[in-house]
Chains A and B, each alone.
Chain A
Amino acid sequence: MSDITGAVLAQTLASGLLWGFVYSLIALGLTVIFGVMDIVNFAHGDFLMISMFVAYVFNASFGMNALVSLPFNAALLFVFGVIIYKVLIKPVLTAPPLAQIFSTFGLLVFLRGLAQFIFKADYKTLENLTLQGRVDFLGIFFSKPQMVASAGAVIMFIVMYLFITKTKTGWALLAVAENKQAAALMGINSDRMYALAWGLGAACVGVAGALLANFYYVFPEVGAVFGFLAFVTVALGGFGSIQGAFWAGLIIGVTEALAGTFIAPSLKYLVVFSIYLLVVLIRPRGLMGHTS
């Protein structure tokens, strides 16, 4: 009996971790945007949906693999993020926070409706995928595409972390995040930095979309499922914290898996949210968030 439980525990941890990396990666883009300009992008999950549909379109029209189209996903989503900033976010920057909330929420409704109009509500899967199947390691199964996604997540986190902390542009982003006026006095164009933050945030979720589309089906509502978890991840890790999002994603993935297997599947999200509430009660700024 203890043998079975041991194997089940190991498998649960493995599955939980693999999903945790995906959750972290999806939350990365959200936390980047928030970190720089204190705006919550409610349409974040739908940016993910767009990226998945980009992967789908590349796949359906050119037979391109999601892993091959990944750079295009990142580039296209970067441009998309910048456009959204210029058209939608910039005008409401000085508006009351409610206006900002409603503008990104409106964007969510718009993008979802648009996707449903263009692609219909069907579930689509990419074809001719590579790196599928699973690896059997001591009786524990690891899904190959999820391992690829996890590796991608780790790489993206390292790249983003290094970019923000080690490059001049990264420092400029941090400076604008800290104090917009002071940064402007130092000759930093905050408008460009904001646009860059939106571009980078969207590009991150673009990468996540390509990696996710490699094993998950695409449909207009897909953002709702993952977007919600991304908010919890960011809030748990600390708004604006890159490392925080990374660890929070893993915690959520593992908690969800453990609760589902050892308590009850219907309670898995309840346990995840309880942990989140607990952390926020004790430490309102999240695990690794900065004090404002």
Chain B
Amino acid sequence: MSVVTGDHQASAEKGMSEAERLISQEKVVALIGSYHSGVTATASQVAERNGIPFVNADSTSPTLITRGFKWFFRTTPDDDMFAANFFQFLNDLKTKGTIKDPKLAILSENTLWGTDVTKAENRFAKESNYTVVSDINYPAKSTNVSSEVQKIKASGANIVLQASYASDAILYMKTYKELDYNPDAILAMDAGFVDTEFLKALGKDGEYILSREVWALDLAKNKPLVEKVNTIYKAKYGINMTGNSARAFTAAMTLLDAINRAGSTDPAAIKKALEETNIPADQLVMPWKGIKFDPTTHQNVLGQGIIVQIQNSEYVTVWPWDLASKPLIWPTPIWDNRK
């Protein structure tokens, strides 16, 4: 097998023309890409028109699988599934008796991403019968957020579902401490809370934050395969794998598995093999239950995210339980008891 690359430069138009070039001139039999949801949307249109399988490793926009495409396959879970993970996690805590009937606050910044997250979280909260006592869309990049925190504090919420970029995430943490707001947990939609700046700016005050993640290196503790693949990866590229490289690797392996089973490079045969994909969890470096595509949407139905917690300045996997490298710390210690 050989790989031909095209650079879409994060532009939807470029993605489209590169896909055209790869298919018509380079005669590729399948495409993998393209990270940015916007680029994946246009590039996969070209593949669809030409009848070439497109395997998407890492675009999480929920709309990509609602287009009724026949040649589009997605291995990564999408934003909806990640939001659903929060509620599976909370349900798990309920089953364990850790929480009873928590009051949720949904706090998101007011651009497209934050409002989408808010919508999804509200929907899932309703479906799983959680009480949302505070639902705040705040102006991104404000100078101060004391009234927002006041509002949440007054609502009596004990779990905050938060979607913020770096500057806001830092500001919120400082204000929580300043106004002595002590929720049981802050469940963050990655972004600002997993930004490299977050812990640098907050130090110990950033501890105990829970965030969703697509992947973490400490999965190696429960999945020896992660360590193995990462060693090869590191030897070649000099750095550890990330959620993005791990997902891209997995999509490529999925496609190769399909080509092997198809026993041919005929796109239609590869598509058929992809539809029959059934890779078990133990063959993946991802925290998924496997890879199996939905017959109509072609979304991998066995994907899931993980939840990491900041413990001693490190992001460690705490959920799903069977993949956790450290036990969950719950509830978050109150500010006055922290050193």
Q: Name A's B-contacting residues (CB within 8 A).
A: 4, 8, 11-12, 15-16, 19, 122-125, 134, 136, 141, 143, 215, 217, 219, 221, 225-226, 229, 256-261, 264-266, 268-269
Contacts and interface: CB of A to CB of B under 8 A. Distances in A.
Contact of A265 (B138, B153, B166, B171): B138
Given A134-B180, A217-B167, A266 B146 contact: no
Interface of B: 110, 136-139, 141-148, 150-151, 153-154, 166-167, 170-171, 174, 177-180, 197, 200-202
Given A123-B197, A141-B178, A265-B136, A15 B150 contact: yes
A257 B153 CA distance: 14
Nearest to A256: B147
Contacts of A141: 178-180
Contacts of B110: 266
Contacts of B136: 264-266
A63 B171 CA distance: 23
Given A123-B197, A125-B201, A265 B146 contact: no
Contact of B147 (A12, A143, A229): A12
Nearest to A212: B143
A145 to B, nearest CB: 10
A260 B147 contact: yes
Contact residues of B: prevailing secondary structure: helix
A122 B197 contact: yes
Given A125-B200, A256-B144, A265-B151, 17 more contacts: A8-B154, A15-B144, A15-B150, A16-B147, A19-B143, A125-B201, A134-B178, A136-B180, A143-B178, A257-B146, A260-B148, A261-B154, A264-B136, A265-B138, A265-B145, A268-B142, A268-B147
A49 B147 CA distance: 25
A49 to B, nearest CB: 13
Contacts of B151: 260-261, 265
A8 B150 contact: yes
A225 B141 contact: yes
A15 B109 CA distance: 21
A261 B149 CA distance: 9
A11 B178 CA distance: 11
Contacts of B138: 265-266
A257 B202 CA distance: 24
The 7 closest A-B pairs by CB, nearest first: A260-B147, A15-B146, A261-B147, A125-B201, A265-B138, A265-B148, A123-B197
B147 to A, nearest CB: 3
Given A125-B200, A141-B178, A266-B139, A4 B154 contact: yes
Given A122-B197, A141-B179, A265 B139 contact: yes
Contact of B143 (A12, A225, A261): A225
Given A11-B179, A134-B178, A134-B180, A19 B154 contact: no
Nearest to B200: A125
A264 B200 CA distance: 31
Contacts of A257: 146-147, 150
A143 B176 CA distance: 11
B284 to A, nearest CB: 34
A226 B174 contact: no
B259 to A, nearest CB: 42
Contact of B166 (A123, A136, A259): A123
A15 B147 contact: yes
Given A225-B142, A260-B151, A123 B137 contact: no
A229 B144 CA distance: 12
A19 B150 CA distance: 15
24 contacts: A4-B154, A8-B154, A12-B147, A12-B150, A15-B144, A15-B150, A19-B144, A123-B166, A123-B170, A125-B201, A217-B171, A225-B141, A257-B146, A258-B147, A260-B147, A261-B147, A261-B154, A264-B136, A265-B137, A265-B145, A266-B110, A266-B136, A266-B137, A268-B142
